[in-house]
Amino acid sequence: MRDAAFPSPAGAALLVALLAPFAAAAEPLVAGSCDLEPGATGRVASVPDAVTLVLESGDTVRLAAIAPLTGDDGTAALEALAAGQDIRLMHGDVASDRYGRAVAQAFLADGRWIQAELLQSGNAVVVAADERQCLAELHAFEQAGRETGAGYWDDNAIPGAWSPDIRNGPDRYAVVEGRVESIGRTGTTVYLNFGRNWSEDLTVTLRSDDADIIENEAWTLDQLVGALIRVRGWLSQRDGPWIGVDHGGQIEVLSAGNAAVAD
């Protein structure tokens, strides 16, 4: 396939900037810039699941930084968008995973950003995993989908930290909102507590090493006390609902806490 069908690498970087909303309602504590390196081009031969593309070359691509929404695997939406289409891959810090799949932001030949399309249409949520590039922009696209009630968001909303869906729900990738009541620290772990009853109330944990990185890059976690935040990650029931966080891209501050918040 000829590269001429796609923007130049410089043009693709400009396209990312132009596609993104001017400002997100709430940005992650830590997010990388949206500077991406150009990768391969190819035609999509099949769509095995909601975040995976198989190219005619046989290469498999995992769409970076997104996951399907609960209750909707999103495969049909991705297939309608990308099946049989020519795409260009753009890479951040992580270009491949341990399974040999390319990890990339993906763009159609007409310039549309596949991740952005899925987020705005309510067919995906942002996953803040190893890839930090473009997190602020992707969060904004997700927010736009929620504000318009697109797709999944037509009948659903982000659950609160004290909702039965979080306290009693199944293990899954989740996006949750709540106000931080207190923060606890041990030698190895930082605890963000959303209530006083640890057996029922949501707890978010960070390894102390990860917390140190977040605090160095952004602000002091103690400033989250009293803050309304949005947190995303794998929700499991461990004598109460629990989400583990390993970097600040998983946390957005919706309203400031009791302490002054650094700019």
- Please give the pLDDT value at position 241: 94
Residue 246 has pLDDT above 60, yes or no: yes
Neighbouring residues of 89: CB distance < 8 A, sequence distance ≥ 6: 38, 39, 40, 41, 42, 61, 102, 104, 105, 106
Across the range 28-38, mean pLDDT stands at 85
What is the rounded distance in angstroms from the CA atom of residue 58 to the CA atom of residue 170? 35
Across the range 129-156, mean pLDDT stands at 89
Q: What proportion of the chain, given as a percentage, has pLDDT over 90?
A: 60
Q: Tokens at residue 21, please?
A: 């909303």
Across the range 220-245, mean pLDDT stands at 92
Q: Could you give phi then psi for residue 237, rounded to 5 degrees?
A: -100, 110
Higher per-residue pLDDT: 82 or 1? 82
Residues recorded for the chain: 263
* CB-based contact 134:36 (threshold 8 Å): yes
Q: Which domains does the chain have, with CATH numbers?
A: 3-133 (2.40.50.90), 164-255 (2.40.50.140)
Q: Are strands 203-207 and 189-193 parallel, antiparallel or unpaired?
A: antiparallel
Across the range 17-43, mean pLDDT stands at 72
Using pLDDT thresholds of 50, 70 and 90, give the confidence band for residue 72: low
Residue 122 has pLDDT above 60, yes or no: yes
Higher per-residue pLDDT: 252 or 259? 252
Residue 128 has pLDDT above 60, yes or no: yes
Predicted confidence (pLDDT) per residue in 146-203, tens digit: 999 999 999 999 999 989 989 887 888 899 999 999 999 999 999 999 998 877 899 9
Q: Of 169, 119, 128, 127, whose CA–CA distance to 147 is shortest?
A: 119
- The sign of the CA dihedral 213, 217, 222, 224 is negative
Q: Could you give phi then psi for residue 211, rounded to 5 degrees?
A: -60, -40
Global pTM? 0.83
Helix (H, G, I), strand (E, B) or coil at 88: strand
What is the rounded distance in angstroms from the CA atom of residue 69 to the CA atom of residue 57? 29
- Please give the pLDDT value at position 24: 43
Across the range 134-138, mean pLDDT stands at 91
- Please give the pLDDT value at position 198: 74
Using pLDDT thresholds of 50, 70 and 90, give the confidence band for residue 10: very low
Q: How far is CA 121 from CA 46, 74, 196, 252, in A?
A: 21, 10, 37, 21
